[in-house]
Structure 1
Amino acid sequence: MGNVIVKSQIELVQQKLATSIQSMNGFLNNTKIDDLQKEQEWSIENYESLLSNVRRMAVFCEEGLEACQIISVTEPFRKAAAERALYRIYHQCVEEFFTPKTDLWYEDSRSAYTGRNSIKYRFTPPASFEGLVTSLESDFQTMREELQYYETDYLTKIKQSQ
């Protein structure tokens, strides 16, 4: 991949991560378990897991954003560092969004063909949380489509160069 393509991917991902982080942090800063319980009756453990997943994603996304910001201002442009950062963002941020650690939600891959949201929940989530995930989904889907190369081809390229 040429420097121009990788640089444009860094810029796109930087913009998408910044928007996503703002949404996640806004949700985390303004939501308490008590608020979520008023919306939907669930076990306290599920609420803790939900908020933990969002915090985990926010941290990964903040680290990815910081890497993108550093790479985008460094001259000359370091393609290898950019590719490494995009690989890490794909696996830590995008994959974490679609298949979170605690498995409270999952991706229904068939939904992508119908134009509906692809995130399905194991339990009915609070409306505010569902709204957050719905608002994030298109940005994470865009990043996934743009960075899918790094799932296999980049890893193969790295192994071959060793």
Structure 2
Amino acid sequence: MSNLIVKSQVEEVLAFLESSVHRIESYLNQTTIDKLLKEKKGDQAYYEGLLSNIRRLLVYCEEGLDACLVVVQNEPFIKGAAEKTLYKVYHQCIDEFFSPRYDLWYEDSRSAYTGENAIKFRQEPPASIMKLMQEVEGDFHTIREELEYYETDFRTKMIQSKN
């Protein structure tokens, strides 16, 4: 791929991460376990796990945002660093969203056929968590589709460089 295409993809991912970080951070800054329990009576440990997963996602998105900023600001543009950054964003941010560490939610692959949201929760979450996930899900889908190329291309390059 040309440098211009890769740079435009980094810029697109940068905008996505800025938006995602803002939305997730705003939510976390105003949310507590007590607030979630008042919103919907439920399993406190599950709610704590949900917030933990969301915080982890936020950290990965912030790290990806920082890396994209460095790549975009580099003169001259370094295509290899950009591709590595996009690969890392795919594996940390996108994977963490669709398949979180503690498995408290998961992606329902059949949702593409039903038109429903792909994220399904193991237990029913408070409405505010459901709303946050629905707000960001579409953007995560879009960026995943954009970055799937880097998933296979970067791995292929890594395997070829070892031989």
Cα separation, 2, equivalents of 1:21 and 1:115:
26
Aligned to 1:133: 133
Cα separation, 2, equivalents of 1:43 and 1:114:
29
Aligned to 1:41: 41
CA RMSD in angstroms comes to: 1.0
Q: Amino acid of the residue matched to residue 144 of structure 1?
A: R
Aligned to 1:104: 104
TM norm structure 1: 0.96
Q: Aligned residue pairs: how many?
A: 162
Cα separation, 2, equivalents of 1:108 and 1:47:
20
Q: Amino acid of the residue matched to residue 130 of structure 1?
A: M
SS of aligned partner of 1:42: coil
Q: CA deviation at 1:3?
A: 1.0
Cα separation, 2, equivalents of 1:38 and 1:73:
45
Cα separation, 1, equivalents of 2:60 and 2:20:
11
SS of aligned partner of 2:110: helix
Q: Amino acid of the residue matched to residue 23 of structure 1?
A: R
Aligned to 1:55: 55
Aligned to 1:29: 29
Q: Does 1:82 align with 2:88?
A: no
SS of aligned partner of 2:65: helix
SS of aligned partner of 2:111: helix
TM norm structure 2: 0.96
Q: CA deviation at 1:47?
A: 1.3
Q: Deviations over 1:45-78 (max 9, x none)?
A: 1111111111100000000000101110111110
8 Å CA contact 2:53–2:102 kept in 1: the answer is: yes
Q: Amino acid of the residue matched to residue 6 of structure 1?
A: V
SS of aligned partner of 1:120: strand
Cα separation, 2, equivalents of 1:149 and 1:33:
39
Q: CA deviation at 1:151?
A: 1.9
Identity of aligned residues (%): 56
Q: CA deviation at 1:115?
A: 2.5
**1:106-125, aligned counterparts within 5 Å?**
106-125=106-125
Cα separation, 2, equivalents of 1:143 and 1:104:
22
Structure 1: 5+ residue runs without aligned partners? none
Structure 2: 5+ residue runs without aligned partners? none
8 Å CA contact 2:47–2:125 kept in 1: the answer is: no
